[in-house]
Structure 1
Amino acid sequence: MRVLVAGATGALGKELVPRLVAAGHEVFAMIRSESSKARASQLGAVPVMADALDRAQVETAVREAAPEVIVHQLTAIGHVDTRHFERSFAATDRLRIEGTDNLLAAARATGVRRFIAQSNGAFTYARTGGPVKTEQDPLENSPIPAMAPMIAAIKHLEKAVLGATWTEGIVLRYGGFYGPGTSMAPGSQQVELVRTRKFPVVGDGGGVWSFIHIADAAEATVAAVENGGRGVYNIVDDDPAPVAEWLPALAEMLGAKQPMRVPRFVGRLAAGPAGVVLMTELRGASNAKAKRELGWHPAHPSWRQSLLG
């Protein structure tokens, strides 16, 4: 199939494009700058130029590629400062709103038959009920102010993609990425904070995280291109775990001292309200539907064996 990947040179795109090519697909990479052309070509894709926030440019690029499938992986997330959570996600929020709308408009104009979009299953489920959520469970309806714009952008993306009756809309709710090129890669700022004992467990550390190795996320996306049906899929590993469990385990993997433990009010001062939510109230996600319907199984079923690799 002809597949257009928007966000082809990001952490996930760099894993996804070669896999799509190896599976026999003709892959096009929507890129914004001339400097990205060589990277896209090295990955095996044909580059097409467009700024995702410029609707006319996006339609021109989509018409040039004439894809059967669009894969929307556009983000602009760098280091996440939990004290300024909304600032860290502002550019990505815009891509998830305006970028999604522009890609969908171009897809409709050119008759794209399947549209796959990156969503977030790591931060977005309602902070009530059980510790592990399925795709049937609601997203957060009462987010704290710092997280409200990010949740709103996710909801916009999902509603737009799933509501596009003229194409087969698929939403992939990825867990927290780890592996090469991610914020959990060896030597990354986040890992170094753990190594130097500057990443404490806040409160009871009861927030449940679901992780996914970046290579497994890419494999699941290929499966969605080939086998997915309209709807939402959690793309996470088999082992959701509370912060009080995975953070000390990561410190042990690093040969570092165990993380400090601080009460919620201290965590709020150091990491902001969003940091406290992530540490104490987050919910994990189940991958049962993705396994069942996509025929996908993570090669890294647990972060315990591979969080640093």
Structure 2
Amino acid sequence: MRILIAGASGTIGGHLVTQLVARGHEVVGTTRSAAKTGALRALGAEPVIVDALDPDSVADVVAKAEPEVIVHQLTALSGASTMRQVKRMASATNRLRTEGTDHLLAAARAVGVRRFVAQSNSLWMERSGGPVADENGRIEPNPPADAEAAVAALRHVEDAVTGITWADGIVLRYGCFYGPGTGLSAAPDAVMTEQIRKRKFPIVGSGRGVWSLVHITDAASATVAAIERGRTGIYHVADDDPAPVRDWLPYLARTLGAEPPRRVPAWLARRLAGKGAVDMMTRARGISTGKTKRELGWNPQYPSWRTGFTDGLS
């Protein structure tokens, strides 16, 4: 198939391009930066520069590419190390998940795209219920005030994409990425890894928040499966071992040769990082992937973060 990946130079983009090209697909990859076109071309994609917040720019690129499938992986979350940078990138990502989604959908409909696959994530599953949610679970309807914009943007992506009637509209709720090219890898400049090594990524409060994690190559292979075989709806993409932060974070620190993470009371973390961050650390729910395995025939290479952290960070 001819596939356009919006955000091909992002965290998952390179892995996704590599796997799609290896399977014989023709890939067009968008980027905001001319400096990244060479890397995309080296991976086998046809690079194009686009401003995803400019509807005319998006329409022009999609019309020229004439893809059968569009994959929406647009975010602005890369390399942030300060709270100010995080807030700025989160705001830009919210726009990409709202305005950017709408521009891509309009362009996709105009050229007759038959499948549209979009990125969501699992950190804001509804806080009621057990520790793990299946694909029927919904996004948290009443998030903390400082997370409302981000959660609303995720909800917009999910509702807009699964609501289309002219093509298969597929949403992938990913677990937390780790592995090469992510913020959680063996690379010395990986942001989250650096924070853990410096003991700046603490266990907040009880640390009972359950996170689902996924190796980046597994995330890409699930995306390929959705592109090739998916149908309208939501699929979960994570390993088989959802776990509380208080379990996986110390294990990761040991794997990295770092000191154990500090523990910070929830009241103090609320002052320093906000209610949203505390909520994710103490109330998050993991996800199950039964539908993804059953309908897409997908299984992760790293079924647990325990082996993923020891064997797959580099």
The one of 218, 222, 225 equivalent to 1:223 is 225
User: How far did residue 81 of structure 1 move?
Assistant: 5.6
What is the SS of the residue equivalent to 2:99?
Answer: helix
Q: Structure 2 matches for 1:176-195, cutoff 5 A?
A: 176-186=176-186, 187=188, 188-195=190-197
Cα distance change of structure 1 residues 281 and 83 upon mapping to structure 2, 3 Å threshold: farther
Cα distance change of structure 1 residues 30 and 190 upon mapping to structure 2, 3 Å threshold: closer
User: How far did residue 80 of structure 1 move?
Assistant: 6.8
Counterpart in the other structure of 1:280: 282
User: How far did residue 273 of structure 1 move?
Assistant: 1.6
Q: What letter matches 2:215 in structure 1? A: H
Cα distance change of structure 1 residues 74 and 145 upon mapping to structure 2, 3 Å threshold: same
User: How far did residue 221 of structure 1 move?
Assistant: 0.7
Counterpart in the other structure of 2:271: 269
Q: Structure 2 matches for 1:90-239, cutoff 5 A?
A: 90-121=91-122, 123-186=123-186, 187=188, 188-239=190-241
User: How far did residue 39 of structure 1 move?
Assistant: 1.9
In structure 2, C-alpha distance between the alignment counterparts of 1:184 and 1:35, rounded to whole Å: 24
Cα distance change of structure 1 residues 25 and 43 upon mapping to structure 2, 3 Å threshold: same
CA contact (8 A) 1:85 1:274 kept: no
Deviations 1:233-288 (A, max 9, x none): 01111110001101111121122222222321122233322221121111111111
Cα distance change of structure 1 residues 94 and 260 upon mapping to structure 2, 3 Å threshold: same
Deviations 1:79-124 (A, max 9, x none): 2766886544110110011111111101111000000001111x21
In the alignment, structure 1 residue 66 sits paired with structure 2 residue 66: yes
CA contact (8 A) 2:81 2:191 kept: no
In the alignment, structure 1 residue 28 sits paired with structure 2 residue 53: no
CA contact (8 A) 1:235 1:290 kept: yes
Cα distance change of structure 1 residues 83 and 99 upon mapping to structure 2, 3 Å threshold: closer
What is the SS of the residue equivalent to 2:28?
Answer: strand
The one of 238, 249, 252 equivalent to 2:251 is 249
In structure 2, C-alpha distance between the alignment counterparts of 1:15 and 1:256, rounded to whole Å: 28
> Unaligned regions of 5+ residues in structure 1, if any?
none
CA contact (8 A) 2:4 2:70 kept: yes
In the alignment, structure 1 residue 7 sits paired with structure 2 residue 10: no
User: How far did residue 59 of structure 1 move?
Assistant: 1.3
In structure 2, C-alpha distance between the alignment counterparts of 1:48 and 1:236, rounded to whole Å: 30
> Unaligned regions of 5+ residues in structure 2, if any?
none
Cα distance change of structure 1 residues 88 and 57 upon mapping to structure 2, 3 Å threshold: closer
Number of equivalences: 308
Cα distance change of structure 1 residues 250 and 26 upon mapping to structure 2, 3 Å threshold: same
Counterpart in the other structure of 2:304: 302
TM-score by length of 1: 0.95
TM-score by length of 2: 0.94
Counterpart in the other structure of 2:75: 75
CA contact (8 A) 1:86 1:150 kept: no
Cα distance change of structure 1 residues 254 and 31 upon mapping to structure 2, 3 Å threshold: closer
Instruction: Single out whichever of 159-168 and 268-277 deviates more from structure 2.
Output: 268-277
Cα distance change of structure 1 residues 99 and 83 upon mapping to structure 2, 3 Å threshold: closer
Q: What letter matches 1:89 in structure 2? A: A
Q: CA RMSD in A?
A: 1.6
In structure 2, C-alpha distance between the alignment counterparts of 1:277 and 1:2, rounded to whole Å: 41
Cα distance change of structure 1 residues 84 and 29 upon mapping to structure 2, 3 Å threshold: closer
CA contact (8 A) 2:185 2:193 kept: yes
Cα distance change of structure 1 residues 84 and 40 upon mapping to structure 2, 3 Å threshold: closer
Instruction: Single out whichever of 14-23 and 42-51 deviates more from structure 2.
Output: 42-51
What is the SS of the residue equivalent to 2:169?
Answer: strand
CA contact (8 A) 1:48 1:65 kept: no
Cα distance change of structure 1 residues 162 and 81 upon mapping to structure 2, 3 Å threshold: farther
What is the SS of the residue equivalent to 1:182?
Answer: coil
Instruction: Single out whichever of 205-214 and 84-93 deviates more from structure 2.
Output: 84-93
What is the SS of the residue equivalent to 2:274?
Answer: helix
In structure 2, C-alpha distance between the alignment counterparts of 1:31 and 1:110, rounded to whole Å: 20
Residue identity over aligned pairs, in percent, reads 54
